[in-house]
């Protein structure tokens, strides 16, 4: 039996099972804390990971997943969790939490990271500087989707009905929809000026998490035009990625896509639908509020081994405005080839 303290859990069936048992029963852990993400990040991106577990009398009382991103462009970033909505430590008491955070800071120093970024649902260390520019948007679901429908404003319901009349339908599934999902997302992310991950990354997530993953595709008169990639964990549906073909923006297909996903979540018995994160006071936040989503503050905390200002590695930073503008004008095939090389380095 391992002694009390913080340990690094290497990939193994035994470690995975004990880690995931803790995550499944913890009130502060979620979809992205699952052990499978360690192998996904290592295999698909080649990133080193530290999956820290605090042990007390042989039992886990806290976990903290960490991923090290090494980039010639963006530097060395230790993050929990990159590429997804949130991460951070999950612990049953302050002692375990503090030990995990202290060890994470040690690793940041040992690996000569430019900074440690903790994307948390709460504050894990009051002494660490933080940014509060992101919020989590979550819908409280009902067993009967009609209850949700009737809570919407009349204009919102009218918009949904209008898009149905425009010939929009929605299908859901898994791996069989991956090619369609990726084709739409490639066009959507190019329009945003955002590099896309390689398709194998999404494939690996489906293979690793199986029935927890659901892909949705919305079509107009048989033409796929919008898509979403969702996770399911405990009582929550986790909205991970969504995109729309920019050529069909006027159709406003998302009105039907989002309603079908919300209805499915209600009928499947989920308690909450997390629509992902949004920049505070942005258009994305306003759109999600129409569906009854309430904002919950996200706390991005930083440990800066060498001091300095908080990093500004996000698309809202004017520093990247020109690069985003250029990316939007590149041929699609170029962004599909070059995008994964950049995306793996942008947490």
Residues 6+ apart with CB under 8 A from 85: 32, 119, 136, 238, 240, 274, 276, 277
The residue among 236, 276, 88, 260 whose CA lies nearest residue 160 is 260
Q: What is the pLDDT of residue 261?
A: 98
pTM, two decimal places: 0.95
Cβ(51)–Cβ(36) under 8 Å? no
Question: What whole-number distance in Å separates Cα of residue 178 and Cα of residue 335?
Answer: 18
Question: What whole-number distance in Å separates Cα of residue 149 and Cα of residue 162?
Answer: 15
* Least trusted range by pLDDT, from 127-131, 197-201, 254-258, 286-290: 286-290
Portion of the chain with pLDDT greater than 70, in percent? 99
Cβ(170)–Cβ(217) under 8 Å? yes
5-132+299-313 is a CATH 3.40.630.30 domain: yes
The residue among 250, 226, 112, 129 whose CA lies nearest residue 177 is 226
Asked if the model's pLDDT at residue 138 lies above 80, the reply is: yes
CATH number of 152-296: 3.40.630.30
Q: What is the pLDDT of residue 176?
A: 99
Cβ(185)–Cβ(232) under 8 Å? no
**What mean pLDDT is predicted for residues 318-334?**
90
Rg (CA), the chain: 20
The residue among 41, 39, 32, 336 whose CA lies nearest residue 199 is 336
Residues 6+ apart with CB under 8 A from 196: 185, 186, 189, 190, 335, 336, 339, 340, 343
Per-residue pLDDT band for 156 (boundaries 50, 70, 90) equals very high
**What mean pLDDT is predicted for residues 88-92?**
98
Domain boundaries, the chain: 5-132+299-313, 152-296
**Per-residue pLDDT tens over the stretch 1-41:** 678 889 999 988 899 999 999 999 999 999 999 999 999 99
Q: What is the pLDDT of residue 1?
A: 61
Is 5-132+299-313's fold the same as 152-296's? yes
Average confidence score pLDDT of the chain: 94
Per-residue pLDDT band for 308 (boundaries 50, 70, 90) equals confident
**Per-residue pLDDT tens over the stretch 207-229:** 999 999 999 999 999 999 999 99
**What mean pLDDT is predicted for residues 192-202?**
97
What does the CA dihedral 267, 272, 273, 278 come to, rounded to 10 degrees? 170
């Amino acid at each position: 039996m391992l002694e009390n303290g913080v340990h690094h859990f290497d990939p193994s069936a035994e470690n995975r099972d004990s880690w995931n048992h803790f995550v499944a029963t913890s009130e502060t852990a979620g979809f992205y804390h699952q052990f499978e993400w360690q192998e996904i990040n290592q295999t698909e991106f080649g990133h080193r990971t530290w999956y820290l577990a605090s042990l007390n009398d042989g039992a886990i009382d806290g976990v903290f997943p960490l991923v090290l991103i090494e980039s010639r462009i963006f530097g060395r970033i230790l993050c929990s969790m990159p590429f997804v909505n949130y991460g951070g430590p999950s612990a049953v008491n302050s002692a375990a939490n503090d030990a995990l955070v202290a060890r994470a800071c040690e690793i940041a120093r040992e690996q000569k990271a430019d900074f440690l970024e903790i994307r948390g649902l709460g504050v894990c260390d009051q002494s660490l500087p933080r940014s509060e520019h992101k919020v989590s948007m979550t819908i409280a679901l009902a067993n009967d989707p009609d209850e949700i429908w009737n809570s919407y404003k009349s204009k919102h319901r009218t918009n949904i009905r209008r898009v149905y009349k425009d010939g929009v339908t929605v299908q859901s599934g898994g791996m069989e929809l991956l090619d369609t999902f990726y084709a739409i997302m490639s066009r959507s992310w190019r329009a945003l000026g955002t590099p896309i991950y390689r398709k194998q990354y999404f494939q690996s997530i489906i293979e690793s998490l199986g029935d927890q993953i659901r892909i949705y595709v919305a079509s107009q008169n048989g033409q796929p035009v919008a898509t979403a990639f969702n996770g399911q964990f405990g009582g929550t549906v986790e909205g991970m990625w969504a995109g729309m073909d920019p050529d069909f923006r006027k159709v406003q297909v998302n009105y039907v896509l989002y309603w079908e996903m919300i209805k499915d979540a209600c009928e499947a018995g989920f308690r909450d639908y997390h629509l992902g994160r949004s920049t505070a006071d942005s258009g994305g936040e306003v759109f999600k509020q129409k569906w009854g989503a309430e904002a919950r503050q996200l706390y991005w905390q930083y440990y800066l081994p060498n001091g300095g200002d908080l990093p500004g590695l996000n698309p809202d930073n004017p520093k990247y405005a020109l690069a985003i503008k250029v990316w939007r004008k590149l041929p699609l095939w170029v962004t599909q080839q070059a995008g994964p090389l950049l995306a793996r380095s942008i947490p």
